[in-house]
Chains A and B, each alone.
Chain A
Amino acid sequence: MVRFVNVTKIYPGQTKPSLHGINLEIDRGEFVFIVGPSGAGKSTLTRLIYREELPTSGQVWVGGINVAKLKRSQVPYFRRTLGVVFQDFKLLPDRTVFENVAFALEVTDASRREILRRVPAALELVGMREKANQRAVELSGGEQQRVAVARAIVRNPALLIADEPTGNLDPENAWQIMRILLNINQMGTTVIVATHAREMVDALRKRVVALENGTIVRDEERGVYGYA
């Protein structure tokens, strides 16, 4: 599903690579945690997958597509096959919760009927249905995070990438989001989660890829968080 071949990423204006010599293969249906200290390159790795950034060298393959080879006009259609929870949520502040989630369907020219069917279901899953008509700016950090998750799953993506999806949540809500991600994974979606949430990583014993200073230092099936 996702394959990194010798990937190095140096942001423009930087000299030190944010990722360096990354080789990684994630199969269809896997659930993978990406862990590592702040600045290790977790977000950069996810950005390369949904093509917000292009690799400086090496190749990133997603679903059999070399993302660097995508034509400009094809990029939107590629991104529609993915669900992404951004570390900074990227919600539209002056739109309602409903509109923010509906938005992911609107860009695909979905019908009104489909939007009215899928959005409430997604909001229900993350426990935000009662706040559907509240504007995004009026939400707490954790609520915004849950809306971001709803938006990422509303299209039933084949691959879900979540960058710190529980970072702002209390343990109870964090577990609820994690359960949703596990659920989606059960239904066949490949899930990649970048996280600092030690307890959850340790409890779930899923595959763990550990990054440090832009390189993979550990890649274990049924791994643990492993930092003090």
Chain B
Amino acid sequence: MGLRGDACIVGYSEWASERPALRAPRQSLAQWADLAAEALADAGIEAGEVDGLVCTEVFESRAFVPATIAEYCGWSVNLAERVDLGGATPVGMVWRAAAAIELGICDVVVMAVPADPTPTSPVPRPFDDRMLFGASSNAWGSPQAEFDIPYGNVAQNCGFAMYAQRYHDQYGWDERARAKIVADQRVSANANPAAIFHDVPATIDDVLGSRMIADPLHLLEIVMPCSGGAAVVLCSAERAARTRHRPVHVAGFGERLTHKTPTYAPDLPHTPVAAAAHSAFSMAGVAPADVDMVQIYDCYSITALLTIEDSGFCAKGQAQAFVNDHGLSFRGDFPCNTHGGQLGFGQSGLAGGMSHVVEAVRQVQGRAGDRQLGRHDTAYVTGTGGVMSEQSALVLRGAR
């Protein structure tokens, strides 16, 4: 069951993280077209070959987004998907495209996530209450609006902090292990010119000395929002043989959703990562120990800690010891988020999740420059949406 592993990621585009934004504001449709053109050029595929697209949202349209993008870019597509999985969206986009390609529906699929600023509208835009409530909905009738938001339980800081609190209560307190994830990844960010923290080192003590935001999470354990954007191109293995770089096969995937708000999570601090990871590894026919790198969603330190553990790299409850025993930078024995992770690279909206996919492809293709890994054939990639509530996982494998 599952993918044969025929579909390949063959090109990408990624804009450097910026805060404050330096690139000029553009319409998000324009950014979509730019990202797509750059990723197609990277792959060596003509725009006219595109017959599938996967998208998230654009500022200019509330609905009918795929059709608007297809029209804007001049494509006739057989796959038109919009994915709504928060931080798990980019990983979810990749496997949906791979599945569609294996079904023979389409041959070349583009997916872009623009996250640079858009120009100020000459007419006022309606108030967007996501400015206040983030990933929680304050609309009347929303369970979050009625039972969670009035108590201050607004996504995301306090939700992830509650995961951390319960995890440590059950499995022991080692704050330095959480901080080490940030510090090790920062070593990789310091080797990545596109990272928001490319020139700012951070030690374990720096992390633990930073301001407490939501006990037990400190400021430096939380991603820095920034602008950016990324895209990837997938195609069939046949078409991939005539592209510019090493094709990266989508060998396995998994996805699992269980809840929206941690209060109602069925098995906290066990996460849906476990089911998604199990599916991805078994579909690819590899074990966690077989992968050369992990590029895992890290909106918070605790996200990465829980993901390492529930993906099966160590036993339940052992992630803190595992992190202490391994080097997580690109120089270490457990390369984890070699672009710096979102904690070091920055989180450019939904494109933050795409940074893990792009870095996996970059490493597998041998294009990571100063931080290139010696062994780079197989990568494990995850996306986390909501508060450990929407989980997607991929196993990617370079063509032989």
A and B: partners? no
Chain B residues within CB distance 8 Å of chain A: none
